[in-house]
A and B are shown apart, each in its own frame.
Chain A
Amino acid sequence: ELKVEQNPLFLSMQEGKNYTIYCNYSTTSDRLYWYRQDPGKSLESLFVLLSNGAVKQEGRLMASLDTKARLSTLHITAAVHDLSATYFCAVDSKPGGGADGLTFGKGTHLIIQP
């Protein structure tokens, strides 16, 4: 059974600081996804990482994927309050990808304080 683990689960940080969220998964997967969720809202797609060594950046967020280590990171640079949200990583549930849904981590609750 595929397991996806995120850490930390809770993170409180100050504006202007850098931090990294980690996502480990237990079996081979070709695709990894990062989503953002605001309270009471749906999931907003941030990144789709498709191959080993993939790195994507959008504003203050950068995501990377190491398929050999089964590890993805979401790095936050010079955090601002607007980035406060819950961040989920998710992995295709079947090895090799496919259209069979995602397995999600429990999410990282990020609070950025002024």
Chain B
Amino acid sequence: NAGVMQNPRHLVRRRGQEARLRCSPVKGHSHVYWYRQLPEEGLKFMVYLQKENIIDESGMPKERFSAEFPKEGPSILRIQQVVRGDSAAYFCASSPSGGFYGYTFGSGTRLTVV
């Protein structure tokens, strides 16, 4: 069991470019969550997805950010026209069916916007 795989681990983008962050959940997990962590802060919930469906995107900025979890392949968090304030660590977590058994976190993608 490879756990939650995120790539890339580090991503540098210039202002105005697009950032694509990938997350492959634990095999058999159908629930995926994205979180953002600013320096010296806790994680902030962004979006919760199940296969092909966005269940809750209440934590996601209304503009420039989007997420998907297609039937096949990893979940993608997409940030268009990045700004310096988007610099953060983005973590993906998965669970088999809600949080009863806890959540498994990936190693994160550290995005730096220059």
Interface residues of A (CB under 8 A from B): 4, 31, 33, 35, 40-43, 45, 48, 50, 88, 90, 92-93, 97-107
Partner of B56, one of A43, A90, A100, A106: A100
Interface size of B as a range: 20 to 34
Interface string of B18-37 (1 = CB under 8 A from A): 00000000000001010100
**Contact indicator B42/A88 (Cβ below 8 Å):** yes
Per the bound structure, the CA–CA distance linking A41 and B3 in Å amounts to: 14
**Contact indicator B55/A100 (Cβ below 8 Å):** yes
Residues on A with C-beta less than 8 A from B35 are 101-102, 104
B45 at the interface (CB under 8 A from A): yes
CB nearest to A44 among chain B residues: B105
Residues on A with C-beta less than 8 A from B69 are none
- Known contacts: A42-B107, A99-B31, A101-B56. The answer to whether A92 contacts B99 by CB under 8 A is yes
Q: Which of A90, A92, A97 counts the most chain B CB atoms within 10 A?
A: A90
B12 at the interface (CB under 8 A from A): no
- Known contacts: A99-B55, A99-B95. The answer to whether A43 contacts B105 by CB under 8 A is yes
Per the bound structure, the CA–CA distance linking A105 and B37 in Å amounts to: 12
Residues on A with C-beta less than 8 A from B101 are 48
B59 at the interface (CB under 8 A from A): yes
Per the bound structure, the CA–CA distance linking A45 and B102 in Å amounts to: 8
